[in-house]
Amino acid sequence: MTVTAALFFVCAVAAALVYRWLPAKFRNYWLLAVSLGFLATWSWQFILVLGALTLLNYLLGFKAAPTGKHALGWTTTGIVLNVLALFIFKYSSFYLPEAVRLLNSLGITVSDGLQILLPIGLSFLVVQWISYLLDVTNGRMEAQRNFVSFSLYAFYFPRLISGPVERAHAFFERLHNPLPVDRALLERSLVLIFTGLFRKLVFANPLFAMIPTDAFTAPAEYAGQHLVVWLLAYAFAIYNDFAGYTMIVRGVSLWFGIELTNNFNLPYLSRNFSEFWTRWHISLSNWLRDYIFYPLSWSLLKRNRSQKAFFNFVLPPLLTMLVSGMWHGLSWNMLLWGGLHGLYLIVERVPSLFKAQPLVNERPRWRQWPGRGVTFLFAVLAWVPFKTSVPNTLAFWKGLILWQKPDFFLFKSVLLGDRQFLDWSSFGLPDPILCLLLAVAILFDLLQHRGGSETFIQRWPRWAQVILVVILLLVAVLAAFTHQVAPFVYQTF
């Protein structure tokens, strides 16, 4: 059951009503039952796998307490086991083909179609469990003794599929002390849900659908002007897809009085890459900063106190972003994507070697706007290896500069009726509908930026809100009849 399905919202409303009706001591039991039921709609095997891992981390939490013996050793064991689970279930495509060939060479017949089922949301859960164990060991929080509460840390259905990545101490505080569900909170939740659905159904799905299936696998077949437009379409599609998902589940979570972490804040308006990673996938970026970047930086500084030393300067951002790439997938193209962002962060820091740099907000506007352009350009270019293999990435980058002159004579023939219209690409012209949708998606972000809030629609005139609701309903009905409601991209992670 996807979070854009009508049945999901009907079930969520019913679950929230029962949750409010139940006495407080029974609410978390009900919430866990609902979450397990939601997970079962994907696969009952997921409950067994994630349940076993949840129990393992629950027990390891007590061993990781700093007052216990060998606490650090138990935490290290827990981290290794969580990463091993990720390797077994998520990265099976990396090692299974080689394992099958090895077994077949030994005379043990194994099907080439051997697969291991990837539990949904496992990548997000693994980083949550690792941060929980580290926080317990470092004394930032006590081990959670209530198994129902700890299970909800894993299974809570609004964030189960694709996050956000929640910190344990913050989640337990919100779980045990939910917000009062009043009119203001319900209005905010509905605005978040509506905006998320709008981003997903009106922007993300059509943009994905307008990109040819072989645009990233056979870029040499297309002119550079098409590749540029399709790359921009992919950049805004993946952003609106993931940002839309996050807004929907955050809105639904508010029905239970539980605030989830905001994951996006107009990342394509960032003025440098340091700011980009405080605006894109914020919960994971903060996790990488706190559990990879800072510990690695402090460890290196203990060996060499100079922040300008080569390893101190290069390794923390590069390794942090390589870990981010491997979290998304164990492949060369994901390593290239992570490596590029690591390189961007290193290059961005070079001027600080010679002179202290002002904070981005303190820079004059004439420096901020070019910074936005450069950051957006290189962030978009990095989406190519995120989408396709390394050889295809190199071919795509090359194709971006190989533009072809539009065939205006063919266009004239079509207008005169001498030839049949096929599609805009046959003229060497970008699809105007795609360009228009891109422009509207950009305008939507600019309006949010000007409004200064993710709930900016709430302050619009009533007639403008009605128009947006009508557009969303039309698109939703059309998508339902054409069966073109695409899954969220990040639910595959």
- pLDDT 10s digits, 31-72: 999 999 999 988 888 888 899 999 999 999 999 988 877 888
Together in a domain, 57 and 158:
yes
Choosing from 176, 192, 217, the residue where a domain stops is: 176
Q: Is 128 a member of any domain?
A: yes
Angle, alpha carbons 471-195-481 (nearest 5°): 45
Of 287, 314, 312, the residue nearest 302 (C-alpha): 312
Establish if 316 belongs to a structural domain: yes
- pLDDT, tens digit (0-9, with 9 covering 90-100), for 122-143: 899 999 999 999 999 999 999 9
**56 and 150 inside one domain:** yes
Name every residue whose Cβ is closer than 8 Å to that of residue 390 and which is 6 or more positions away in sequence. 332, 333, 336
Q: How many CA atoms lie within 13 A of 115 on its CB side?
A: 4
The whole-number pLDDT of residue 113 equals 46
Q: Are residues 169 and 85 in the same domain?
A: yes
**pLDDT tens by residue, 97-118:** 555 565 555 565 545 444 456 6
pLDDT at 375: 95
pLDDT at 245 over 70: yes
Give the tens place of pLDDT for each residue, 152-201: 999 999 998 888 999 999 999 999 999 999 999 999 999 999 999 999 99
pLDDT at residue number 479: 67
Domain boundary among 305, 334, 362: 362
221/300 same-domain check: no
Its pTM stands at: 0.91
Question: Which has more confidence, 477 or 83?
Answer: 83
Paired tokens of 239: 């952003």
Contacting residues for 487 by C-beta, under 8 A, at least 6 apart? 2
Residues 258 and 294 occupy one common structural domain: no
Query: How far is the C-alpha of 392 from the C-alpha of 411, rounded, in Å?
Result: 31
Same domain flag for 105 and 242? no
Residue 83 lies in a domain: yes
**Whether 75 contacts 59, CB under 8 Å:** no
| Torsion angle in degrees (nearest 10) through CA of 206, 38, 242, 343 | -140
Do 420 and 357 lie in one domain? The reply is no
Do residues 263 and 277 share a domain?
no
Note down the domain range covering 93: 28-176
- Kindly state whether residues 38 and 164 are assigned to the same domain: yes
Which of 33-42, 377-386, 444-453, 454-463 has the largest mean confidence?
377-386
Q: Is residue 20 part of a domain?
A: no
Q: Residue 234 phi/psi, 5° resolution?
A: -65, -40
Which domain-ending residue is among 362, 387, 418?
362
Domains in the chain: how many in total? 3
